[in-house]
Homo-oligomer: A and B are copies of this chain.
Amino acid sequence: MTVVTVAATQMACGWDVDENISHADALVREAAGQGAQIILLQELFERCYFCQEQQYDYLSFATPLEENPALRHFRKVAKELNVVLPISFYERANNVFYNSIAIVDADGSVLGIYRKTHIPDGPGYSEKFYFTPGDTGFKVWDTAYGRIGVGICWDQWFPETARAMALMGAELLFFPTAIGSEPQDPTLDSRPHWLNTQCGHAAANVMPVIACNRVGTEQQGNSKITFYGSSFIADETGTRVKEMNQSDTGVITHSFDLAELRTKRQAWGVFRDRRPDLYAPLLTKDGAPS
């Protein structure tokens, strides 16, 4: 049996951690009720997207893996429902803070964590204030339902993220995120750009991409972001087979046959024909090998 059903969820978040967890719990159960086996929740869904402002107090939101409330809750849910749940959380590791995700397998065990590699920064998205760039490197996870790769938000803009996980044997790529309007420029709508980039990863790696994003408007001080949802599931050609709109709460699910995908991927030949001997520029920042 190589057919796997995946789900992406979409919801608005507030400041009450328990309420957000309860809301996410309802969506996970809804998705599981539709047969989903791997269910993606949003980035940092325990709270409002606190990175809108630079507030030293918010550093206290970070916890060690073991103490994170969402993770404690969803380990039990994963076991109960027999589903895989990547859980995004704000991690404190001694004196360092990461934007991390714990991969909870269908028996409730934690397979490990991945720490967000690429950290954005700009008006309304002050992530370099809150997160040290991840040190884990890209990872893939042998879950109960297949080998998955998970990137976090800004990671989704980098072909390197998807390609590395594909090379490491991922069969499905997941990207939880929090993205919306740009406080400094109301005319800037990154939504098509965001969709085209990620559907490109699916197409180039001949591999489904599942992305989920929050909805709702969040105001913090003078900054306001309307998150544009648009959570989607793209197939191995980069075509979106399921997608949500920019405001609804809910879940989308889709089934993929991993064996069939593998056959298509090997038939297409792109992994056969790669030329790492000529890829040295990719390991530079400015294209000029030192």
Contact = CB atoms under 8 A, between A and B. Distances in A.
Contacts of A285: 167, 271, 274, 276
A101 to B, nearest CB: 16
Interface residues of A, number: 55
Number of copies: 2
A137 B121 CA distance: 33
Contacts of A237: 192-193, 196
A56 interface: no
A287 B197 contact: no
A64 interface: no
Given A157-B270, A239-B192, A164 B281 contact: yes
A75 to B, nearest CB: 28
Contact of A167 (B154, B166, B270, B282): B282
B286 A167 contact: yes
Nearest to A118: B273
B204 A197 contact: yes
A199 B283 CA distance: 23
Contacts of A238: 192-193, 196-197, 200
A138 interface: yes
Interface in A99-147: 117-122, 133-134, 137-138
| Interface pairs A-B: 4 shortest CB-CB | A200-B200, A196-B238, A167-B287, A159-B159
